[in-house]
Amino acid sequence: MANPIAEINLKNLSHNCTYIKSIVGNSMIFPVLKANAYGHGVEKTAQFLNNLDIINGFCVATENEAEELIRFKIDKPIFILGKTNLLNTKLLSKKNIIPTIHSLDEIKQLKSILSNGFKVKFQIKIDTGMGRLGLDLKESIKVIHYIKNNSVNLIGCWSHFSSANEDNQDYTNLQINRFSSFLDRLKKKKINFKYIHMANSSAILQNRNSYFNTVRPGLSIYGISPLGKLNPNLKPVMKFKLPLIKKINKSAGEYIGYNRKYQTQKNEKIGIFQGGYADGIGSFFGNHGKIQIKHNLHPIRGKISMDLTAVDITGSNIELNEYATIWGQDELVLENISKNYNKIPYEFLVNLSDRVERHYIE
């Protein structure tokens, strides 16, 4: 039986990275590959990017995501942005793994580990206004003092934006100023870093003051703008498609799907497509979403089922086992769809399940 497909266009992925490089200039590019490369399939995506000269390394959120990249033979530096178990010596001993320290206590713990002869490179995160993980700026004096007086292999320093996707950049600029001030204080103590990074996709696209010497593009490399509007320089990497598995001619007055949420108003030809909310098609698509067949949009009828989606295919010549597009083409790009449902593009991508086959096109 035909299955839903996420068609991954690696040529578009390369194009987007090249576009980002044209913006950030000499800054190093560390794409974000967390959450299964935003649903695109981390193994193939990482291996493809690993072979691009303009890519300098990668970012993940968790230890297990870093371990995956090691298994996939990724040899460029890997930043673990989230909380890391500093006792996981098997992982941290890998020469390209760089964990993040989020507190002074962790720095002290790391010093204790290093005293036993264990070698590890690490970076620190500074909370400049996100209010989650990271060293509080009030602790910065203690951090500077401790680093200066203890032999720790600190090679990176970073922070994270709260609101870089907003039109008003005042708070983003405040965070940049706080981060820059902290770095200046470190420089006066002759503490320098190989990697300094703050810019996510939003900041890359609209705030040139945010780049420092490294950037962390996420959504943008997958061809989607986080700014709520289309960017003509970005090309969607994923096209999510469903196969038609049955056609039904319905008369006026018949019900479609669970709880009779749609009743035909006239004679309709209904197409049943393989794919539902277990595959990543949110229930909110029911009776509201559209699907593209050839070059035309057709309305979804009734509730989205766990495995199936019903569509009015009247006027279409689609045949059984042919595919129609849920997102990633023409009008059905995630910038538009997410806005229609008051959601963000990330949710659609990362909710794509393992049942969806990833097909890679070079």
Given the residues 95, 142, 246, 258, the one annotated as active site: 258
CA dist., res. 289 & res. 293, Å (int) = 13
Q: What is the rounded distance in angstroms from the CA atom of residue 239 to the CA atom of residue 329?
A: 7
CATH 3.20.20.10 intervals, the chain = 10-222
- The answer to whether residue 258 is catalytic is yes
φ/ψ of 268, rounded to 5, equals -135, 145
pTM of the model: 0.93
90 noted as active-site residue: no
Q: Return the closest-CA partner of residue 39 out of 362, 361, 357.
A: 357
Q: Please give the span between the terminal C-alpha atoms of the chain, in angstroms, as a whole number.
A: 25
- E-strand stretches of the chain: 5-9, 28-29, 58-60, 78-80, 97-98, 100-101, 122-127, 135-136, 154-158, 195-199, 214-215, 238-250, 255-256, 262-263, 268-274, 290-293, 296-299, 308-312, 323-327, 357-361
Query: What residues does CATH 2.40.37.10 cover in the chain?
Result: 238-361
Measured distance CA(328)–CA(139) in Å, rounded = 45
Closest CA to 43 of 6, 74, 11, 78: 74
Q: How many CB atoms lie within 10 A of CB 196?
A: 20
Q: What angle do CA 216, 219, 220 make, to 5 degrees?
A: 80
Q: Which residue has the tokens 């934006």?
A: 161
Catalytic annotation, pick one of 21, 34, 250, 290: 34
Report residue 27 as tokens.
């800054």
Q: Yes or no: say if 289 and 260 are a contact pair by the CB < 8 Å rule.
A: no
Ordered DSSP codes for 11-55: HHHHHHHHHHHHHHTTSEE--B-HHHHHTT-HHHHHHHHHT-TT-
Cβ atoms within 10 Å, residue 294: 11
As a CATH number, domain 10-222 is 3.20.20.10
Per-residue pLDDT of the chain (362 residues; tens, 9 = 90+): 689 999 999 999 999 999 999 999 999 999 999 999 999 999 999 999 999 999 999 999 999 999 999 999 999 999 999 999 888 888 888 889 999 999 888 887 877 777 676 778 889 999 999 999 999 888 777 777 777 666 668 899 999 999 999 999 999 999 999 999 999 988 888 888 999 999 999 999 999 999 999 999 999 999 999 998 999 999 999 999 999 999 999 999 999 999 999 999 999 999 999 999 999 999 999 999 999 999 999 999 999 999 999 999 999 999 999 999 999 999 999 999 999 999 999 999 999 999 999 999 98
Contact 119, 92 (CB under 8 A): no
Residue 232 one-letter amino acid: P
**CATH no. of 238-361:** 2.40.37.10
**Cα 86 to Cα 108, 180, 201, 277, distances in angstroms:** 11, 28, 29, 38
- Compute the CA torsion angle 85, 88, 91, 96 (nearest 10 deg): 60
